[in-house]
A and B are shown apart, each in its own frame.
Chain A
Amino acid sequence: MQLDPLVFAAIAGMAVATYFTRFIGYWLVRHRTVSGRLAGALEAVPGAVLTSIIAPMALATGPAETAAAALTVLLALRLPLIVAVAGGCLAVVALRALIG
């Protein structure tokens, strides 16, 4: 078990940078009334960020991933979250074996 000083500095730098990104958005909107275009923008953030994280995997990796993504959405319309997630993971294994 060792903690090298330069390693410590690197991790501390990462930690400070990450916490900065986490509080600054909240800090910026904290004391102002949010309306108009800013409200429209903030309303769009959750879906836009989630979509961006998954879009390359769901749409641009291969037919197996895209088909499994579509199946996950269909399952999520009817069934509990965990069932849809498990179904999607099983589907991606099966589809990769079948169609690559």
Chain B
Amino acid sequence: MTPSDFDRRGEFAAGAFTILPLLVAVVPFGLLLGTLAAQKGLSPLEVAFMGATVFAGASQFVAVEIWTAPPAVALLTATALMVNLRHVLMGAAQAPHMRGWSRGTAYGCLFFMADEIWAFALRRGAERPLTPAYYLGLSLPLYLGWVATTTLGTIFGGVLQDPARYGLDFAFTAVFLTLLVSLWKGRRTFYPWAAAALAAVAAHELLPGVWYIALGGLAGTLVGAWQGPAVLREATDAA
């Protein structure tokens, strides 16, 4: 084993260890999605195929919600595109941490860019260089867990009827709140986040579906653009 193999294993293990608590939170949602899909007449093979190729929880829940027999191919494709528009911003934000990755590695790893993986990857990138091995350590356990639990949920439909009873519908909110605490940088972060929260709540009240995520993200990003970058501001203040 060469030193670089050793580093890679260590990085992969560090990523996998980081994602494990979240894997526990994903299990009930995977089972629930599988259960709902079974009620819409999807077979375990179809659900496994969807989990393995789409791997985006929010858009899969929406797809199952609007699923018909036979399926409306164009509507489902367009809906997946809209629900996942936030990924465009996320990929742009993750790009600076992927400098030095080969093209194949970068485009391969981007397939796994789910909200949780992206958030942990950026937190890692803020502390030390983000490696592909760490990124895959985050990704593969969550990916395999997602495909397995959604498929199992379809096979044993009805196992999990009501995750809210155990507060599990709050688990993702709680996870993201703790990530926000680690991203907090005082007033600089307050204005974009306040704009995002206001726009998201308003859009959630007024618009159907998950437009609130894209619109809230856009509002916060625009405020960030208006503020300008941190370094530039310090330089301007000094001058």
Interface residues of A (CB under 8 A from B): 1-4, 6-30, 34-60, 65, 68-69, 72-73, 76-77, 81-82, 84-85, 88-93
Asked whether A89 lies within 8 Å of B89 as measured between CB atoms, the reply is no
Cβ of A21 and Cβ of B179 under 8 Å apart?
A: no
Minimum distance in angstroms from B145 CB to a CB of chain A: 16
Would A13 and B178 count as touching, CB distance under 8 A? no
Say whether chain A's binding surface is mostly helix, strand, loop, or mixed: helix
Q: Please, which residues of chain B bring their CB within 8 A of the CB of A92?
A: 167, 170
Q: From residue B36, how far is it (CB to closest CB) to chain A in Å?
A: 15
**Given A45-B92, A46-B93, A51-B197, are A17 and B80 also a contact pair (CB < 8 Å)?**
yes
Please list the residues of chain B having a beta carbon within 8 angstroms of any beta carbon in chain A.
21, 25, 42-46, 49-50, 53-56, 59, 63, 70-74, 76-78, 80-81, 84-96, 98, 106-107, 110-111, 113, 115, 118-119, 122, 165-168, 170-183, 189, 192-193, 195-197, 199-201, 204-205, 212-230, 232
Partner of A89, one of B174, B183, B193: B174
Q: How far is the CA of A25 from the CA of B45 in the complex (A)?
A: 31
Which residue of chain A is the closest to B108 with respect to CB atoms?
A: A23
CA distance A43 to B78 in the complex (A): 28
Q: Is the CB of A6 within 8 A of B73?
A: yes
Residues on B with beta carbons closer than 8 Å to the beta carbon of A2: 43, 45-46
Asked if residues A16 and B87 are in contact (CB atoms below 8 Å), the reply is no
Contact partners of B204 in chain A: CB under 8 A? 55-56, 60
Chain B interface helix/strand/loop/mixed: helix
Query: Are B44 and A1 within 8 A (Cβ)?
Result: yes
Cross-chain pairs A/B with CB under 8 angstroms, 7 sampled? A14-B59, A22-B110, A43-B93, A49-B213, A50-B115, A60-B205, A81-B175
A10 touches B225 (CB 8 A): no
CB distance from A27 to the nearest CB of B (A): 8
Interface centre among A4, A60, A81 (most CB of B within 10 A): A81
Q: Cβ of B70: which chain A residues have Cβ within 8 Å of it?
A: 4, 6-7
Closest partner residue, chain B, to A86 (CB atom): B174
Which residue of chain B has its CB nearest to the CB of A91?
Answer: B167
Asked whether A46 lies within 8 Å of B183 as measured between CB atoms, the reply is yes
Q: Residue of A at shortest CB range from B194? A: A51
Which of A46, A52, A93 has the most chain B CB atoms inside 10 A of its CB? A52
